[in-house]
Amino acid sequence: MIPFSEVKTQYQNLKQEMQQAFNEVFEASWFILGKNVEEFEREFAVYCAANHGIGVGSGTEAIHLALLACGVEPGDEVITVANTAVPTISAISFAQATPVFVDIDPGSYTMNPELIEQKITPRTKVILPVHLYGQAADMEPILAIARKHNLRVVEDACQAHGAEYQNKKVGALGDLGCFSFYPSKNLGAYGDGGLVTTNNAELADRVWMLRNYGQRKRYFHDIKGFNSRLDELQAAFLRKKLKHLDAWNERRRRIARIYDENLTNAIVKPIEKAFAYHIYHLYVIRCQQREELQKFLTENGIQTLVHYPVPVHQQMAYQDLNIGDGALPITEHYASEILSLPIYPELDDDDVMFVASKINEFYG
């Protein structure tokens, strides 16, 4: 059986390091906003070449607080994509803002910059590109449009720890970068966790207060805030794991190359854009007869998933946006053809070859 994703082997490889981290936190018995959070914030910010890192409760919360830090108010509009994990949009809803969708670029599956300007209105506050599947969105034109219209850019980097755009790590390209440490991410915790990166001290300060009841100083609340904190235990685990991230990303890239080289041309393989260093959080193909292929792979012990089968504007929860079918043709078309294959550092070459051979066999 080849599972779609697997975190146990990684834990077994890291057992000593994780137990050491666990023991250190319990010996110190300081669980919220302590030395490990502070150090991890600093280390992850350095990793992304950002001036500031602020640990928060999840990736969704990272986006929510980043939007509030940008001054997003109820009724404001946030331009983003519908081909994303729903939490991107949940965060916009938390901020009581309205998501405005643009279609994706057919080659990279990320925000098509050419479609942004026509969606800008006086209510637009933020452009929120998603570095989907581990590949950076095309940031240069997005940043240029934001500058021209005086908008903020919040990067959803929840699937892109260590991904690069023009040799720069994502997370510090726009005004704020948002990361998730959901366990199966390229850098995953053992529970929920998130982090916001930024080069802007004022925005950092606002996120820093927002995550901790709006306090600047204990019991003195400058703004209305939340409880959204990365905890010490997760930060201690993440500090150990961060040291392995580059090697894990390289291994994912190697697996992607094996798929690229061995998969039949009957399916469409992912493209690494010239501007990108893709870290393959997901390896997503496009294929005909997806349901049949998925069933065939399941019968052969290969688990696959679809990211994502229903674009956000077609989800029941978002029918109030009144965006009809056909509004986002590429997004809608791809939703019926995309399929994510197993990819994680611990997957061995033979298993990757087995997956490729079974797909090739299906298409005869």
Ligand X SMILES: Cc1ncc(COP(=O)(O)O)c(C=O)c1O
Provide φ and ψ at 55, rounded to 5°.
-75, 135
Q: What is the CA radius of gyration of the chain?
A: 20
Instruction: For residue 345, give the nearest of 18, 1, 13 by alpha carbon.
Output: 13
Instruction: For residue 80, give the nearest of 259, 347, 331 by alpha carbon.
Output: 331
Strand boundaries in 143-239, DSSP class E: 152-156, 164-165, 168-169, 176-180, 194-198, 215-217, 220-221
Q: Choose the stretch contacting ligand X; rule: CB under 6 A; options: 33-41, 152-160, 246-254, 272-280.
A: 152-160
User: Does 88 sit near ligand X (CB under 6 A)?
Assistant: yes
Q: Where are the alpha helices (DSSP H) in 73-114?
A: 86-94
User: Does 314 sit near ligand X (CB under 6 A)?
Assistant: no
Token readout for 279 is 């870290």
Residues 20-59, interacting with ligand X (CB under 6 A): 58-59
User: Does 83 sit near ligand X (CB under 6 A)?
Assistant: no
User: Does 187 sit near ligand X (CB under 6 A)?
Assistant: no
User: Does 331 sit near ligand X (CB under 6 A)?
Assistant: no
Closer residue to ligand X, CB minimum distance, 137 or 143: 137
Closer residue to ligand X, CB minimum distance, 198 or 340: 340
CA 76 to CA 135: how far, in whole Å? Answer: 28
Minimum CB separation of residue 40 from ligand X in Å reads: 15
8 A C-beta contact, residue 188 and residue 182? yes
User: Does 111 sit near ligand X (CB under 6 A)?
Assistant: no
How many CB atoms are closer than 10 A to CB 313? 22
Judged by CB under 6 A, the residue of 78, 130, 143, 258 near ligand X is 130
C-alpha distance from residue 257 to each of 200, 249, 278, 346 (Å): 37, 12, 11, 15
Closer residue to ligand X, CB minimum distance, 53 or 362: 53
User: Does 159 sit near ligand X (CB under 6 A)?
Assistant: yes
Angle at 257 between CA 253 and CA 263, to 5 degrees: 135
User: Does 200 sit near ligand X (CB under 6 A)?
Assistant: no
Token readout for 355 is 């997956």
Closer residue to ligand X, CB minimum distance, 175 or 192: 192
Q: Choose the stretch contacting ligand X; rule: CB under 6 A; options: 18-26, 46-54, 151-159, 254-262.
A: 151-159
Closer residue to ligand X, CB minimum distance, 88 or 108: 88
8 A C-beta contact, residue 133 and residue 281? yes
User: Does 134 sit near ligand X (CB under 6 A)?
Assistant: no
- Across the strands, what pairs with 227? 212
Task: State the residue number with the nearest CB to ligand X.
Answer: 59
Please tell me what DSSP assigns to residue 33. Answer: S
Closer residue to ligand X, CB minimum distance, 88 or 135: 88
Judged by CB under 6 A, the residue of 77, 156, 175, 332 near ligand X is 156
Judged by CB under 6 A, the residue of 194, 225, 270, 345 near ligand X is 194
Residues 165-184, interacting with ligand X (CB under 6 A): 180, 182
User: Does 158 sit near ligand X (CB under 6 A)?
Assistant: yes
Closer residue to ligand X, CB minimum distance, 37 or 359: 37
User: Does 135 sit near ligand X (CB under 6 A)?
Assistant: no
Closer residue to ligand X, CB minimum distance, 103 or 362: 103
User: Does 311 sit near ligand X (CB under 6 A)?
Assistant: no
Residue entry with tokens 């997957």: 347
User: Does 84 sit near ligand X (CB under 6 A)?
Assistant: yes
- Across the strands, what pairs with 155? 177
Secondary structure (3-state) at 52: strand
Instruction: For residue 173, give the nearest of 136, 204, 203 by alpha carbon.
Output: 136
Q: Which residues bind ligand X (CB under 6 A)?
A: 58-60, 84-85, 87-88, 130, 156, 158-159, 180, 182, 192, 194
